[in-house]
């Protein structure tokens, strides 16, 4: 996902970000009014920001997949959460099945992986969780369609270039199968760290999404080019979410402020990492988050960064020796 791919102009991008904030605040209001906290699926923040700021981006142009992929992986997550305790087997089965489903469907909606892992990490076993996720994604798909129509009618969109077509092809077709092995090995190692430290959110769900894009689509993944900024950016978005949870509670204002804080952090680092916005929203679906949450996020992203750099070193050496 290129940060500038088929995007809006500066002022229209600002409007798009404002719409994303209003949308996530609306979802938070629905969650608050119904008492169904799982309606506020954190990756909705990442998805909303991307589809509104890139109306012809890969996610925005896959509205059916946007609506149904997180719902299907949420079902996978509930099945394994109800059947197995948190551990190596349940995590690997959940992540592996979610990734497999995405590849089978040819869906570009990587944040759906987080929808599968979230119930296992949080211990959510309610069958209402997948419909709650579906409510948010269907609403987002409908709003995304209307926003694209408006953007086209007002001639706000930049033209599609040949580079955009190449990027989309690369996003749909990872260059090698080694990436999946590397990703699953990292997931297993992260579970080990969770067990050794007791910090469940070292393997926070958006981290797998971050890794999926880094390892699977390295050539076009924006944060794969600047991985050393990831730990600081994700730590700060997590800390911002925790801060507003403590200051303002769990209502729409707190959720909107947390996402705005996440967007400000990414602007500060000049880094396009939509899953980091989900990191900012995670405290609102957690049971009494503490300072351990941003610390766990910092540890998890640091481990992911180091593992990615090691993988890159191995892969380059492999290419030199065998190609």
Map 237-301 to HEC letters.
Answer: HHHHHHHHHHHHCCCHHHHHHHHHHHHHHHHHHCCCCCHHHHHHHHHHHCCCCCCHHHHHHHHHH
Instruction: Please say whether the beta carbons of 250 and 284 come within 8 A.
Output: yes
pLDDT by position in tens, the chain (length 323): 444 444 456 678 888 999 999 999 999 999 988 888 889 999 999 999 999 988 888 899 899 999 999 999 999 999 999 999 999 999 999 999 999 999 999 999 999 999 999 999 999 999 999 999 999 999 999 999 999 888 877 777 665 543 344 344 435 545 557 899 999 999 999 999 999 999 999 999 999 999 999 999 888 898 998 999 999 999 999 999 999 999 999 899 999 999 999 999 999 999 989 999 999 999 999 999 999 999 999 999 999 999 999 998 887 666 555 55
Instruction: Report the phi/psi class of residue 170: left, alpha or beta, with left for phi > 0 and alpha for psi in -120 to 50.
Output: alpha
In this structure, the chain runs to a length of 323
> In whole angstroms, what is the distance from residue 280 CA to residue 239 CA?
7
Instruction: Please say whether the beta carbons of 116 and 77 come within 8 A.
Output: yes
> In whole angstroms, what is the distance from residue 212 CA to residue 206 CA?
10
> In whole angstroms, what is the distance from residue 281 CA to residue 268 CA?
19
């Amino acid at each position: 996902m290129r940060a500038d791919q088929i995007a809006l102009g500066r002022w229209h991008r600002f409007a798009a970000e404002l719409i994303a904030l209003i949308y996530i605040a609306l979802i938070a209001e629905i969650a608050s009014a119904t008492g169904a906290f799982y309606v506020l699926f954190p990756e909705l923040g990442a998805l909303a920001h991307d589809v509104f700021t890139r109306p012809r981006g890969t996610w925005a142009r896959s509205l059916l997949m946007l609506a149904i992929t997180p719902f299907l992986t949420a079902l996978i997550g509930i099945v394994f959460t109800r059947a197995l305790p948190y551990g190596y087997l349940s995590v690997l089965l959940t992540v592996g099945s979610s990734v497999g489903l995405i590849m089978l469907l040819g869906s570009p909606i990587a944040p759906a992986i987080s929808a599968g892992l979230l119930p296992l990490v949080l211990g959510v076993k309610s069958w209402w969780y997948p419909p709650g996720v579906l409510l948010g994604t269907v609403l987002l798909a409908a709003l995304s369609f209307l926003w694209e129509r408006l953007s086209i009618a007002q001639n706000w969109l930049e033209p599609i270039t040949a580079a955009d077509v190449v990027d989309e092809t690369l996003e749909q077709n990872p260059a090698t199968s080694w990436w999946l092995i590397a990703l699953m090995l990292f997931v297993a190692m992260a579970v080990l760290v969770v067990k050794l430290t007791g910090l469940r959110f070292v393997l926070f769900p958006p981290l797998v999404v971050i890794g999926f894009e880094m390892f699977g689509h390295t050539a076009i993944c924006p944060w794969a080019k600047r991985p050393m900024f990831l730990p600081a950016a994700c730590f700060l978005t997590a800390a911002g979410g925790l801060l507003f949870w403590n200051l303002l509670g769990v209502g729409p204002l707190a959720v909107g402020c947390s996402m705005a804080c996440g967007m400000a952090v990414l602007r500060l680092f000049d880094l396009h990492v939509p899953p980091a916005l989900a990191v900012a929203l995670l405290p609102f679906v957690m049971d009494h988050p503490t300072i351990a949450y941003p610390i766990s996020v910092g540890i998890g992203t640091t481990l992911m960064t180091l593992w990615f750099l090691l993988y890159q070193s191995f892969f380059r050496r492999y290419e030199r020796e065998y190609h």
